[in-house]
Amino acid sequence: MNIADLARVRDEQLAGEPVGQASGAGARALMESIMAEERVPVRRRAPRRGRWLALGVVTAAAATVLAVGVPPFGGPVTQYANAAVSVKAGDDYLEVAINDPEAEAEKFTEAFRAVGLDAVVKKAPVAPEDVGKLLGPIMDGEFPPGTGVKGSWTTENCASAWCGKVAIPIHFKGKVIFGIGRPAAPGEPYATRGLVSPAADGGPIDGYKARGKQVSEVRADMERLGLKITYVVMWSNPDGSGEGYRVEDAYIKDDWIVHHVRKTASDAAEVTVEAGPDVPKDSLPKVPLREGLDWWKD
């Protein structure tokens, strides 16, 4: 197309015509000029796989999406970024940097789908310290034999709100659900559980350790903070791991030993205790999982 040819449509021909109205003589002339030109097909290069390319930071002010290869509505790419998130795909893992935690969930979904995942991203209620972090993934599908999912996050060389790495089997074809932490409303159950550091004056004290204390002592600390308490009883395995579930308060003994305490809402805490030596494994009645753990469900 010769740009000079389009100059025959002058500004004065368009003056006075309402924006968006294509019925004026000037607008029709411009459209006819464009439509009359011969269209030349654009050649696309196939995405380059197996290599890592430098990924720049896209600021919230940038309207243009940075992508290597094909946009999300084409084939998968090795890396993709928009104003909300940057995603790089390796052979069996994703490297994720969350640039704007307050962006709409659809912007995060767009990036994960661009690198080939059947992914959905939702906002999940969390404690203040977890706002903007990546949750999950929750995965629905068959894993290749001998594979699983693991993740890590880092603060080193992270210029974004959150940076981390998620290992996902390369041949996994099921649905993937991620969460982005949003501030929970007062009393709203957290999707994640934050550590509690209670103090006698109601404020946090660095270095408070619940581990190894008796239930009666930790319960008193929680009550001074005005926190509602639930309990999880855990049985230890010979290899040092532990398994357990939520149990009614009435079954918890004052002299049982506390393993750890997690905050489950702005006004609630979950105390995990070690079962007494005379309590057989899985012998106590279970109670349903607390609210908030199913944030990924519709």
pLDDT in tens, the chain (298 residues): 443 444 444 444 434 444 344 444 444 444 444 344 444 443 433 333 322 222 222 222 222 233 333 444 456 788 999 999 999 988 778 899 999 999 999 999 999 999 888 889 999 999 888 899 999 888 876 666 666 677 888 878 888 989 998 888 766 778 889 999 999 999 999 988 655 555 544 445 556 688 899 999 999 999 988 889 999 999 988 887 888 999 999 999 999 999 888 888 989 989 999 998 899 999 999 998 766 678 888 7
Token pair in block for residue 8: 């025959």
Q: Is the pTM of this model over 0.95?
A: no
Phi-psi map region of 255: left, alpha, beta (phi>0 left; psi -120 to 50 alpha): alpha
What are the residue boundaries of the structural domains of the chain, listed by start? 66-183, 194-274
Check if the beta carbon of residue 48 is closer than 8 Å to that of residue 78.
Answer: yes
CB atoms within 10 A of CB 208: 14
